[in-house]
Amino acid sequence: MHFKWTTYEPTEQQRTQAKRLGEKLNISEVLAMLLIRRGIATESAAKRFFRPQLGDLLNPFLMRDMDVAVDRLNDAIGRKERIMIYGDYDVDGCTAVALIYKFLLQFYSNIEYYIPDRYNEGYGVSIKGIDYAKAQGVSLIIILDCGIKAHKEIAYAKQLGIDFIVCDHHMPDDTLPDAVAILNPKREDDTYPFKHLCGCGVGFKFMQAFAKNNGIPFSKLMPLLDLCAISIAADLVEVTDENRILAYHGLKLINNQPSVGIKAIIDICGLSGREISMGDIVFKIGPRINASGRMENGKLSVQLLVENNPDTAITTAKEIDEYNDLRRDIDKQMTEEANVIVERLNKQENRQCIVVYDENWKKGVVGIVAARLTDMYFRPTVVLTRDGDYAVGSARSVAGFDIYSAIKSCRDLLVNFGGHTFACGLTIRWNDVELFKQRIEEYVSQHIQPTQTVPTLNADATINFSDINRRMLHDLKRFAPFGPGNTKPVFITNEVYDFGTSKVVGRQQEHLKLELVDSNSPTVMNGIAFGLSSVARYIKSRRSFNVLYTIEENVYRRGNVQLQIDDIHIGTKS
């Protein structure tokens, strides 16, 4: 795929601000400009950004219904009611359940946790789960990372004498379910200042409020911040404001004192002995926590996250690692099959979105396949599979296009749906699949902008290799943790040349290991370009080209700078 590059061009006022801020902070003007672009224009704001403080977390009681939720939990504990912690089967749901279960278990034992079976119960609150709760004598369910649209299920539970406290972050309907309390910063009537908490984050705020109300020191919550960091990274919520604080301190915990369960995952996925980043969570830790819910039941992941015995934890971690291997095999096969369908569609280049379905696909993997197709074709994508009389699936979108609104436009065809701007889950009747496909394609065609379907890589600045050194690497690391809203800085260097030692590497000779110089300095930069070996012959011809990259630390030679090259343009200036 050929990517268009865009580079941010600062105004003169911003250049002046960056120069002054860089002098005050003793950092380069390039890095000062990165702060300006993030809305950080003063020395004090920069210090808060570089050193996020737990004391700056918002008062949890600013969230609507928080006082009601805490009162109901206090009453349940006081009356010795049985409490169920119920969550979605993905990373966000599992970490949220583990967080509240581990925290409350320090003070109260009449609790249990429950993760619905993706294949037997489906997404969210299930009648089967409520019936199970009733049989166990549960009178209060705390539901995490789902529940905001569970009108019928929560009404049914109420008839059985079971109350619900909903902790969710998905978009609500115009009307809310009849729960005792609904904690969701996206409620229209909620004035909570930060709207981008994940489900685990909402659960954390609930426990923060409970602790505050009961005089429990915040130090009791701190060991659970690793779960928040994992959830924030894996759920791809904005890493700004409160999420940045939680992720920053959660990552410190993961790197210095991880829980027994998380340590086991770190060990089995080969991250031991290195500094773990948000990217490691997204690509290594998160998929393994997700794997048991995708392939069997997410309860195994919660079991691992709350485990205190190292030997048991390793055994469980190996089991979910096997699920992850199986998930990868199925994911690969389904993606290949989906690609065949896409390529068979007439005039694919004129289609503004992709809708593919197959009744034999595994529904635990359709979200991954949708994400892969979106990346491949740069179009909003819906992938569906059959579940009895219904089609269930996932949708993913490109930057700037609201797939949630697109799915919602077909509401008369939907049995169930929910999600965010860039990702949704949905259920429709199987007989309506073709009509849904037609309707969603019409909506996307009418609303998507041409620029939103152009594969684009955005760079923060154009620099020379002479600007890059260990000091810059050190300062860039202070911008972490990275994620949406605070992406890893990307740079362009024009007119670079092979130093003469670059080579093709990888099992299938698909990558490039590079040593480069630019036309403005003698500095030799090491780099790795994954999947870009197709331009090797041009590079070895000693002609100039342009590179777009992030600046990394060499994993094997700590302190050494290495470029991770995301794209190469040959022949013309970017």
Which percentage of the chain shows pLDDT scores above 70? 98
**Stretch (H or E) spanning 36:** helix 29-37
* 132 vs 167: CA distance, rounded Å: 20
Give 304-309's long-range contacts (Cβ < 8 A, gap of 24+). 304/261, 304/264, 304/265, 305/94, 305/95, 305/98, 305/102, 305/227, 305/259, 305/261, 305/262, 306/98, 306/101, 306/102, 306/113, 306/261, 307/260, 307/261, 307/264, 308/260, 309/260
Helix extents (H) in 241-358: 241-256, 260-268, 278-280, 286-295, 299-305, 310-344
- Residue 374 reports pLDDT greater than 50: yes
- What does DSSP assign to residue 33? H
* 564 vs 405: CA distance, rounded Å: 35
Q: What are phi and psi of 442, to 5 degrees?
A: -65, -45
Q: Are 393 and 370 in contact (CB under 8 A)?
A: yes
- Residue 365 reports pLDDT greater than 50: yes
* 11 vs 413: CA distance, rounded Å: 48
Q: What are phi and psi of 6, to 5 degrees?
A: -125, 140
Burial class of residue 340, CB neighbours in 10 A (0-12, 13-18, 19+)? exposed
- Residue 279 reports pLDDT greater than 70: yes
The model's confidence at residue 297, banded by pLDDT at 50, 70 and 90, is confident
- Residue 292 reports pLDDT greater than 80: yes
The model's confidence at residue 2, banded by pLDDT at 50, 70 and 90, is confident
The pLDDT of residue 347 is 56
Cis status, amide bond into 177, omega within 30 of 0 = no
Q: What is the pLDDT of residues 473-489, one digit of tens each?
A: 999 999 999 999 999 99
The pLDDT of residue 324 is 95
Q: What is the pLDDT of residues 299-351, one digit of tens each?
A: 999 999 999 999 999 999 999 999 999 999 999 999 999 999 998 875 555 78
Q: What is the pLDDT of residues 202-260, one digit of tens each?
A: 999 999 999 999 999 999 999 999 999 999 999 999 999 999 999 999 999 999 999 99
* 391 vs 174: CA distance, rounded Å: 25
Which percentage of the chain shows pLDDT scores above 90? 89
The pLDDT of residue 345 is 74
- Residue 48 reports pLDDT greater than 70: yes
- Residue 127 reports pLDDT greater than 80: yes
- Residue 104 reports pLDDT greater than 60: yes
> Which of these ranges, 237-246, 351-360, 410-419, 556-565, has the smallest mean pLDDT?
556-565
The model's confidence at residue 572, banded by pLDDT at 50, 70 and 90, is low
Q: What is the pLDDT of residues 164-197, one digit of tens each?
A: 999 999 999 899 999 999 999 999 999 999 999 9
Tokens (6 digits) for 503: 């080579």
Q: Are 116 and 145 in contact (CB under 8 A)?
A: no
> Which of these ranges, 110-119, 167-176, 387-396, 556-565, has the smallest mean pLDDT?
556-565
Q: What are phi and psi of 560, to 5 degrees?
A: -85, 140
Work out the number of other CB atoms within 10 angstroms of the CB of residue 49.
Answer: 18
The model's confidence at residue 574, banded by pLDDT at 50, 70 and 90, is very low
